[in-house]
Structure formats: structure tokens, C-alpha cells
Structure 1
Amino acid sequence: MNKKLLSVFSSLSLLTFNCYAAEVSPPNWWAGMKNNSLQLMVAEDNIAGAKIKIDYPGVSVKAVNSLDSENYLFIDLQINGAKPGKFPIRFYKDGQLVEELTYELKMREENAAQRRGFDATDSIYLITPDRFANGDTQNDTVEGYADKLNRNYKGGRHGGDIQGMINHLDYIADLGFTQIWTMPMLENAMEQYSYHGYSTTDFYNIDPRYGSNSLYRELSDTAAEQGIGVIIDVVLNHIGSEHPWMDDKPSADWINNESFSPTSHRREVLHDPHAAHEDKAAFSDGWFVPTMPDLNQRNPYLAQYLIQNSIWWVESANLSGIRVDTYSYSDKAFLSEWTTRLMTEYPNLNIVGEEWSVNPLITSYWQQGTSRRDNYVSALPSVMDFPLQSKLVSALASDETWATGLRELYEVLASDFVYGDPGNLVVFADNHDMSRIFTQLDEDITLWDMAMTFILTTRGIPQVFYGTEILMDNAGTDDHGIIRSDFPGGWQGDEINAFTQTGLTAAQRDAHSKIKQLLALRKAHPDLFSGELTHYGPHEGVYVYFRHNKSSPDKALMVIISKNETSKALALDRFESMLNGFSRATELVNDNTINLDKNITVPASSATVWLLQ
């Protein structure tokens, strides 16, 4: 086996025998999982063809298979009533013992299967770990990894890490966020531009420049103490070109295409009843870039590897959810199996898929509960709401006409009938792959305020990109390395420190305060945000909607977005059905309370939130 393969699985179960080291994935498992099957992938020189012996109560060998490489062996185990413990796996060739490793079935933590996933009462803080905070300078550059620390390069590694996030959990909690989604932190042993994490070279180890598996678990545990869950970013579609599989594939069909063949990105072909087979393959089997080989999940051994890997991370790191990168690019049948297996094991988990389409028909296709013409089975609870994001920006930036402006926002929400569960969509004004919302809105603070008020009060689960709360921007460029700039204060010696608000402008402090107020509102009234949204068609530049819940009839929220250049008296009789039973309204920002027996004066170019009681 090549030297790289021997080096990357540092935390896997190892046992040296006859001067060799066998590697097994998953590195451990748990007793008492709902699915009693487990497939081990063993990697070692010339291990193919070996016979297996396991003598442990409750564990039996169902099958042993070798594929095209002589250096891999796949062992199918049946686990019925086995107790937690360690047991030896012995490998024989020609009747002789050639290898032995120790495997462990761990005890599951209490209520592990019933873990609560993120939902509409939560709010998600999206972090680029390399760019948030450097908590451990000792891991800035790690021997054996080509991509060294280089803060002067927009695509270089800047030193942010897990310890940096742990050090600033109090900041995230004080803002009011209840979930953290980080871009991937698994090993990316690439020559350059590795900081983003989407070029996996080891599925079972945190990149040492971020920390370790144990430190990742510490992040999860420490965050939980502050009421914050951790969402992992999973990449099922591709790997990094430096992954050991590229030197020694377990089977010839492990990767789609022998060399770089770009994906068409034409996701419509998966839904087009007239689409040619070749066009479908060009989308699903193509590579993103030459450094991201495309995985063939039609291979059942690879499919099982990826399914078990996701379960392993949820269980071992005590996670509250998964975000799946480039969701629709993976094989459709595999995605059905993957989601079903995850949600069977963890019925209350939440998983959100990234389907970057602004067409609600395409986005909704993947969500569980959506009606489909082809009867495709999906157990995916949530999808990223790119259609809403696109219309939000257009609605705020466009003039108010019969077809543009706030009407666009109203119309995209009116299309919610295509979703299995619109209340479980993840909504956002921007993310790590697009210009920051402040830049998209030409640094108009009033429009930024409207956008963030809407995202944090509309239906769904809001996600906010780190730095949005201090108006971070990428003016003049759409380079991702600039979009994901360093968070001020995350590095020793930073003149501006957003964690303490030292050096922030008045506008930045106001933005921070606004985000905090809105998140406090969400935490104070979770029942309203898990409830319904009722909206009224925009009229004369004003859009009004309500958040309410039948289980809390004594309160509701009224949100008013106005794009008028002057203040306007808003007659309330139009909203009679929603205002019935309420006598007063208190404005979020200034605690101004009014009686609902008269009109409301709506400020020019504003987004106001009123608590009805």
C-alpha cells in the first residue's frame, strides 16, 4: 500500500502484526444500533482474498469480499445483541494467520438515537473555520502538509481552527444563535487552496490544522452547554485528488471517469421527462474541477462506506444535524438510500441538502413529503431555499411595479405548495459561495436591515453567515477567498475586534444590535416561529405578514416591510382576520406600544416587527 494511505488514518483501529499495519473503516461502531449490519473496509498490502474469523457473542461474519485492488477487503458483519466491548478479527491465508486487529463496539450514549435535530425554532451561524478565529497557533502549519499558513494569500490557510471557535462560543451564544454549521473540517491534504474543506482526503479524521477528532467532540460538548448544536458539512459527491483512493482504487469503478471530465451543472436533466441518458450522465458523473474526482455511489461498497461514515460522525461527535454539499450531483438512488438510513437511525435528526437552483420545482423535488411524478423516495427533511434567497435580493433591489419589487418575495412564498414542508426549509440572505448580502445590496444599510429582518422572521430555519452581523462585505470582487475574509478580532494583534466591538463603526454596532434583537425575539417566542405564516399581497410598496400559532392564541407577530421613500399611514382594517382578539402592539426596536384601534405609521424604507397581544 502507498505511503500516503498508511499515513492518513491516524485515528483508526490499528494493530501491528508481522511489520504491517491494517486499517479499518469505520474505526469503531456501537452496540444497539437500529441497523444490525456493518461493513468494514480493511486496507492493507495484499489483504484481498483473506479468510476471516471472529469469535465474539452477537457478532457474525455474513460475507467477505475483495474487489479489484489486492489491498482492500470488505467484511460484512451481523450484530445481534452484542454487548459493548473489544474483540479480535483474525485474517488467514492458506490456513496461516497473517494479520490480527482489535475492533471495538462502544456503548451508545443515552438517548443517542432520539437526538434532537435543528428545527424552525433554531437559528444557524455559518462559519468558515479557517477564517473565524485562530485559537491555537501551534497547528497553523503542520509537517507533512503542503498548504502552509499564508494569511497574505486570499486562497491560503489563515490559521482559524476548532479551538478558535471554542474560545468564542460565548460570543455566538450571546448573539442568540442556537446552531453552528461549519464548512467541512475533514482532512484536505491538498497542494493548495485547501482551507475550504471540500476536497476530502480522509473521511474519518479532522484536518490537524483545525485540531483533532477529540477537539471536535469538545466543540460539540462545549457548545451544547451553551444551548448550541453543531451541524456537520458532509461531501458525498466527490473527494480531493490527493485522496489515497486515487493511487489505489478499491474497485475500477470507484470514481466516475478516469480523468477530469467536467460536470454540465445542468441539474434540470434529472427532472426533464425528455432528457437524454448522456445528458444525465454528463451532470451526475462529471467532476467539479480537476482536483475534485467524482465518486460513483452506484458502487454498493462505496455507498455503504459513505452511509456509515455519516452515521459515525453523528454518533461520535454528538451532532444535531447534517448539511450535504452539492446534494443533487450524487446518484439519485444512493441519495434515497442514504437519507433513509440516516433518518431511520435518527428519526429526529435534521438534514439539509444544497440544491442550488432558483426554481422551486427543482429544489422541492428532494424534500421528503413532496409529490413527484416519478414516485422517487426521499427521506431528506430539508433543503436550502435558494429560490427565496434570489427573490429576496431582487425584491429589495428592484423598483416597485406590478411585477417587480416586494411582489417577487410574495410570489415565491406563494409557491410553497410545491414543498413537502416549507417550514423546514433553511432560509438565508447569503452564504459562503456567494457575495455577502451587504455587497449584493450595494452596501445600502436600509436594504440590509430589511433583508435580515425578513430572514429572521419568515417561515423556515434562518442561517446567517459569520460577519453578516458586522456588515462584512466583498466590494469589488466575487472571489471566494475575499468573501470568506478573516473575522476581525480572531487573530492576535487585530486592530478591530468584533468579539468585543472594539473599533467597529456605529453602523456595524447597530447591525450587530439588530441581529441580536431579532435572535432574542426568536428565543423568546419559539412557538411563533414553529407555527404558521400568513401574508398579505404587497400594496402600495408595503408588505405585511404574520407569524402565529394556534397553540399560542394570545400572541402573534406582525412584520411590516415598506420600500416607500416617505412614511405612510397603514390602515389596519385589511388585516382584520389576523388582528382579531388583539388590542395592542409593541414594536421590537424601541418597545413603543400602540393600540390597534387606529392606523400604524410606517417609517420610510423600513422593516418593523410588532408583537401583538
Structure 2
Amino acid sequence: MNTIIQRIEPPFWYFGMNKPEVQILFYGKNISEYIITLEDSTALTNVKRTVNPNFIFVTINTQNITTNEIYFKFQQKNKRSFIQKYELRKRRKDSALRKSFDASDCVYLLMPDRFANGNPNNKNDSNTTEKYNRNLPEGRHGGDIQGIIKHLDYIKKLGATAIWSTPLCEDNDANYSYHGYAQSDVYKIDPRYGTNEDYVILVEKAHQCGLKIIMDYVTNHWGIEHWMVKESPTADWIHRFENYTETNHKRSTVSDINASKIDRTICLNGWFVPTMPDLNITNPLVFNYLYQNAIWWIEYANLDGFRVDTYNYSEPEFIAKWTKAITDEYPNFNLVGEITMRNQSLLSYWQKDSAIAKIQNFNSNLPSVMDFAVSDALQMVFNEDDDRWDQGITKIYDHLSKDFLFPNVNNLMIFGENHDTRRLHHIYNNDIRKYKLVMSMLATMRGIPQLYYGSEIGMTGDQNLGDADIRRDFPGGWNDDKNDAFTKEGRTEFQNTLFDFTSKLFQWRKTNKAIHFGKTTHYIPENNVYVYFRYDNNQSVMVIINNHPEKQELNTNRFKENINHYTMAKEVLEHHIFKLAENISIEGKSALILELA
């Protein structure tokens, strides 16, 4: 790179993209004073200068370029000139048609800083501010990409088929940088996690293990330490107010026909927190930057999907356009948006082709949303022994009765907990029975199940003590840990009971297509017992969830329309056989998952 140019983004690009044009950012002292030319002048389609003379945006059309390297000539008027090489790479075979994650998958969510330290030599870096301090709950604890690679077999053995890691790009905040959501460079893996090349190796090794990699992508905000927040190309690169203004988090204002303009504006343009400035995605330069960065990571790292953070905090028209640009390039690519809303109609508004959103001529183009309504219910119902009207397991029944609101229920992400919620084992006080009930439902309900790291070994934490308490270190991820829960020998009896159950359940789930993409029929709960069937033309699964503390007896005549011609059922974990013409007994606070035959 020429000494005058300090940054080029994207650092390289690819031939054969659906959209052949790419806008390249060159950054350097007074770079905009230079006239830029290409030997093939037809390939250079636009040069955009901004109020900041240190930035220039150059658009080229790659369609007719046949060489892997092109050379930009930078010429000052009657003064010096220099040449800058730019690389164009060949895409992987069938890159555009890559298969993504879907309802046949089980997603394992981990926080890399808290999962495992595989390389003790990268705990600190001279170019990042916050240093390693495992004694500080909110500090950097040293987990990294190598730690994930080291334990891919563990994740696979658990029954997961995809990994969602919280952001791995550089977060150079002075404090609380471990979570990664205040990114300071979105083209660079945080050096305390490893290198860009390490990330590519992670994806390659995951694919070799039959695991997919989902990147956590943030469109709404960057960190206060991002180099383009410190020095922006334009005055409106981020949203600015006369006084610091934080989002009101009222995302219902987006679809609310009665919402005031100021409330909607503050929701969408207000900063997430003081260290996370709000990006102005309506600025064409910002939009292109975010779109190209997302495409670049998909191509470069060979990714299998995105989880998009704070999806509906961005201007709706433009985040929908951003999403469509990605799915136009990759028709099978799945993106799941964080829509932290508990009302099903508001959640469904944000899934692609929503009939509710269509009333307002809006389509998010977002294939999947996170089902926070079901998550909230899973976090409370198994502590409710009474099923009066809207209590107990009836909450789940009532939520699923609104599935008609969603264009694609099988593509909803379902979960009992994640890195922003209460921990299941804290809520349920390490009651194995209740944990098994949650897992049994996640494994058999419609949607894409997501597990949160450590739940399978009983990790707990009290959110009232701060987010760090629900993001503890995985035992065994560090050489000096007293027990290694990554191994059977290192786990306690309690931990093995949880792990073995979870592993057996989700390994079975891989085998049943009716669970993945089938239909659902459910029955009104009685005595806090909920029965539902998942089925397609070839298979049928009967799920019995007994949320009553005592044993219950079910008369199977009530379920004839789904039992139909089946006479026998095999319980999927212990393989007990049930005759469907007879009553079925089920222990208190337990589940039965029966494959009909």
C-alpha cells in the first residue's frame, strides 16, 4: 500500500458478483486532492469526494475486468503521482447458491471471550486498550477463536449443527469490550481473538465437522472508538443531536400509525448507549459501506448465515433494502434479526412477506426473526403449577395459537435464553426436570432451536448482578480451571446428566424431518398437560409436556385425529414402547416425545 493511503476498504473484492459495481474507500491525508484514473477508463464509473478531504470513494464496474489486479493512478495537479494496486479474487464454486441454516439446524450461541482460551499468547495486544483481567467480571477474560476451534467436537457431540458467536471484529473500548457490540473496525478480527485468517480457518474446520458458522452482524451502530466515528467522511455519517440523545427503545413506533414523529425519530436515530453511536444507514455512502462489508465477510470467510443485532433500530426502508441486497446475491442465505418484542403481531411485522406489514406497504425482506414471545414463556411457565386460564403451559399454547400471523413459522429462531436474558438454571433453581422440559420443547416445536453456551452443563448467573454474571467463563476453557466440563471425566454427575440428556435429544432431532419442516396440531392443555403433534406425509411425532407436579393419565381417544392409523409409539430417548389404544401415564414435570409407528 502506498504510504499516502492509510486504508482501503473493502481491502479486495470478487469477480462475478450479482451486482458488479463496488465502491472502494481510500483514506489518506488530503487524498481527495488527487485525480484518479484507471487504465480501463470504462471500469471506473464514479468518484465521490466528501467534505473531509481525507476520504474518497471510487466506484468500479468489475463486469468486464479480466485481470486479477487493477491499478489506480493517483495524480495531483502538476505534482506527484503514484500507483495503487487493487486485487479482484475469484469466488468459490457455487458461492451464490450456498446453503444456509434452517429449521433442520440447532444453533449453539457462545461468547468467544468467555468460551475458551486456545491461544494464551493473544490475551493482550499493543493496539487495543483494554487488557486481560480475568479477575474482573466485566473484563477481558482471554477466550479466542482457537478456543472455539479446539472444542468444535464438543459442540458437535452436543447435537448442535451451527455456531453463532457474538461479534469477533475489533472492539477497542476501554471497558466492557468483551461483548464485541461496540466495534471499532469491521474489516478486522479483534487481535485478542486472533486474525482474519484464524476466522477463515475456524469456518473451514467447522465445515469439516459438519457445523455451520453464523456471524453476528451489527448494522445499527458502531463503537465510539471506530476510526470513522472519530473522523467521519460526512457530517451525517452518524446521527447527531444538540445534546446526547439515547434511543427510547420503543420500536413499536415504527409501525404505530399514531406515533409522533419525534418519538419515532428518537427510537431510530438515538444512540444505543453513549459508547455506541447510531449509524445513518439512509446516507448512501453508509449504506454501501455496510452492504459491501457484509458481502465481503460472506465471501471471504465462506459464512453460512447472519444474526443481525438490533435489526429494527435502523430506518426500516433502508435496513430492508440492505437485507434484500444480501439475499439477492445469495438467494438461500438466512438472516435472523434480533427483534426484541414480545407481541406476536409486532414480531411478525418484521418477517419477510408479513401480511401485517403489507398493510403499510412494507416488507422487511428478513427471512427469520427471534421469537422472544415464546422465549419469555419458556422462562416462566415451568414454575407455574396452576394452569388457570392463562397460566402455566397454557401460555405456550396461546402463543402458538397466533402462528397464523407469521409467514414462515418454521424459520423463527426459538430459544430459552441467550446472552441478554436471564439464565434458565437461575430461573429454575437448577431443577433438572424443568430444564428437560424447556429442552424438550425447543427440540420439538416449530422453528430453529438456539442453545446458549453452558446451559447443557448447568451454568447459571443472576442478571440482577449485571450482564457479566450471565456470561461467565465456561469451566475447562482455561488451563488453570479446576474442572473441565468439555470432557465427560471433567464434568460432575449433575453436569453429565444435563449434557447427556441434551446431546441425546438434539442428536435425535437431526433425524426427524417432521420436526424440521412439518406441520403442528396442538390440543388445549388440561391439568397443565400440553399435547401437540409434529407431522408430515411420512412421519408423526407426539409430544406430551406435563407441567403438573404430579403424574397424569392421558386418554388417547382425545387425540384420534392425529393418532389416526398409528397403533404404537416409541419414546425417542429411552425407546420405551407405548400402545396408542391405551392410556398413557406421564410423571410430574416431565416430557414424552413419541415417534408414531
TM range (shorter): over 0.9
Is 1:504–2:491 an aligned residue pair? yes
Distance between the aligned counterparts of 2:127 and 2:299, measured in 1?
30
Question: In 2, Cα distance between the equivalents of 1:574 and 1:333?
Answer: 48
Is 1:515 equivalent to 2:495 in the alignment?
no
Q: Structure 1 residues 227 and 527 mapped into 2: Cα distance closer, same or farther (>3 Å)?
A: farther
Q: Deviations over 1:196-219 (max 9, x none)?
A: 000110010000000011110100
Is 2:519 the counterpart of 1:532? Answer: yes
Which residue, 147, 150, 153 being the options, matches 2:130? Answer: 147
Matched with 1:61 is 44
Deviations 1:302-350 (A, max 9, x none): 0110000001101110010000101111111211110110000000010
Deviation at 1:406, TM superposition (A): 1.1
Matched, 1:377 2:363: yes
Aligned residue number for residue 479 of structure 2? 492
Contact 1:130 1:158 in 2 (8 A): yes
**Partner of residue 421, structure 2:** 434
Q: In the aligned structure 2, how far is the partner of 1:169 from the partner of 1:56?
A: 47
Structure 1 unmatched runs, 5+: 1-14
Q: Do the aligned residues in 2 keep the contact of 1:453 with 1:607 (CA within 8 Å)?
A: yes
Distance 1:476 1:415 in 2: 30
Aligned to 1:105: 88
Secondary structure of residue in 1 paired with 2:500: helix
Query: Whole-Å Cα distance in 2 between the matches of residues 556 and 56 of structure 1?
Result: 62
Aligned with 1:80: secondary structure? coil
1:378 Cα offset (Å): 2.0
Q: Is the 8 A contact 2:246 2:270 kept in 1?
A: yes
Counterpart CA distance in 2 for 1:160 and 1:72 is: 35
Alignment of 1:201-240 (within 5 A): 201-240=184-223
1:78 corresponding residue in structure 2: 61
Supply the distance in 1 between the matched residues of 2:306 and 2:162 (Cα, whole angstroms): 11
Deviations 1:539-567 (A, max 9, x none): 122101111112x2xx3211100122221
Structure 2 matches for 1:22-61, cutoff 5 A? 22-56=6-40, 60-61=43-44
Deviation, structure 1 residue 379: 1.3
What are the equivalent positions in structure 2 for 1:197-346 lying under 5 Å apart? 197-258=180-241, 260-346=244-330
Q: Normalized against structure 1, the TM-score is what?
A: 0.94
Alpha-carbon separation, structure 1, partners of 2:117 and 2:231: 35
Which amino acid counterpart does residue 381 of structure 1 have in structure 2? Answer: P
| Helix, strand or coil at the partner of 1:104 | strand
**Structure 2 residue identity aligned to 1:158:** H
The answer on whether the counterparts of 2:167 and 2:215 sit within 8 Å (CA) in structure 1 is yes
In structure 2, the residue matched to 1:585 is: 569
Equivalents in 1 of 2:131, 2:82: separation in Å? 37
- Following superposition, the deviation at residue 529 of structure 1 comes to 1.7
Instruction: Report if the CA contact (8 A) 1:51-1:64 is conserved.
Output: no
Question: How far 1:120 moved relative to its partner?
Answer: 0.3
Question: Which range moves more in the overlay, 462-471 or 585-594?
Answer: 585-594
CA distance change for structure 1 residues 84 and 343 in 2, over 3 Å: closer, same or farther?
Answer: farther
Matching residue of 2:164: 181
Matches within 5 A, 1:388-537: 388-398=374-384, 399-475=386-462, 477-537=464-524
Is residue 83–residue 105 contact of structure 1 (8 Å, CA) maintained in 2?
A: no
In the TM superposition, residue 394 of structure 1 has moved relative to its aligned partner by 3.0
Q: Give the Å deviation of 1:29.
A: 0.8
Counterpart Cα distance in 1 of 2:156 and 2:399: 32
Amino acid at match of 1:175: L
CA distance in 2, matches of 1:429, 1:460: 13
**Is this contact kept in 2: 1:469–1:511, CA < 8 A?**
yes
Q: Distance in 2 between matches of 1:93 and 1:376?
A: 47
Aligned residues: 593
Contact 1:32/1:81 (8 A) holds in 2? no
Distance in structure 2 (CA, Å) of the matches to 1:392 and 1:106: 47
Structure 2 Cα separation of the partners of residues 154 and 60 of structure 1: 52
Contact map agreement 2:463 2:469 (CA 8 A) in 1: no
What secondary structure, in the 3-state scheme, does the structure 2 residue paired with 1:195 have? helix
Aligned residue number for residue 608 of structure 1: 592
Query: How far did residue 476 of structure 1 move?
Result: 7.5
* Partners of 1:348 and 1:95 in 2: CA distance: 51
- Alpha-carbon spacing, 1:470–1:90, altered in 2? closer, same or farther (3 Å): same
SS at match of 1:191: coil
Deviations 1:117-156 (A, max 9, x none): 1000000000100000000000001113221110000110
Asked if the contact 1:262/1:288 (under 8 Å) is kept, the reply is yes
* Root-mean-square deviation (Å): 1.5
Query: Residue 114 in 1 paired to residue 97 in 2?
Result: yes
Q: Deviations over 1:378-412 (max 9, x none)?
A: 21100000011112223222231122111110010
Same amino acid, percent of matched pairs = 38
1:4 aligned residue:
none
SS of corresponding position for 1:456: helix
**CA deviation after TM superposition for structure 1 residue 81, in Å:** 3.4
Q: Unpaired runs of 5+ in structure 2?
A: none
CA–CA distance in 2 between the matches of 1:182 and 1:583? 44
Is the 8 Å Cα contact of residues 49 and 65 (structure 1) preserved in structure 2?
Answer: no
Distance in 1, matches of 2:246 and 2:497, equals: 45
Q: Report the Cα distance in structure 1 between the residues aligned to 2:285 and 2:254, rounded to whole angstroms.
A: 24
Give the residue type in structure 1 aligned to 2:364. S
Moved more, 600-609 or 341-350: 600-609
Cα deviation, 1:74-133, whole Å, max 9, x if unaligned, reads 112122233350111112221545342111110000110000010000000001000000
Contact 2:170 2:186 in 1 (8 A): yes
**Does the Cα contact within 8 Å between 1:49 and 1:73 map onto a contact in 2?**
no
Match for residue 175 of structure 2 among 186, 192, 201: 192
List aligned pairs for 1:538-549, cutoff 5 A: 538-549=525-536
Q: 1:404 to 1:247 in 2, by over 3 A?
A: same
Matched letter for residue 533 of structure 1: T
Say if 1:596 and 1:362 are closer, same or farther in 2 by CA, change over 3 A: same
Which moves more between the two structures, 287-296 or 341-350?
287-296
Deviation digits for residues 401-449 of structure 1 (CA, Å, limit 9, x no counterpart): 1221111100101111111211100000000011111112233322111
Give the whole-Å Cα distance in 2 for the aligned partners of 1:564 and 1:582.
27
- Whether the 8 Å contact between 2:462 and 2:470 is mirrored in structure 1 is no
Deviates more, 1:576-585 or 1:469-478: 469-478
The alignment's TM-score, normalised by the length of structure 2, stands at 0.97
Q: CA deviation at 1:181?
A: 0.2
Shift of 1:180: 0.2
Cα distance, 1:503 vs structure 2: 4.5
Once the 2 structures are TM-superposed, how far is the Cα of residue 49 of structure 1 from its aligned partner?
4.2
Are the equivalent residues in 2 in contact too, given 1:84–1:106 (CA < 8 A)? Answer: no
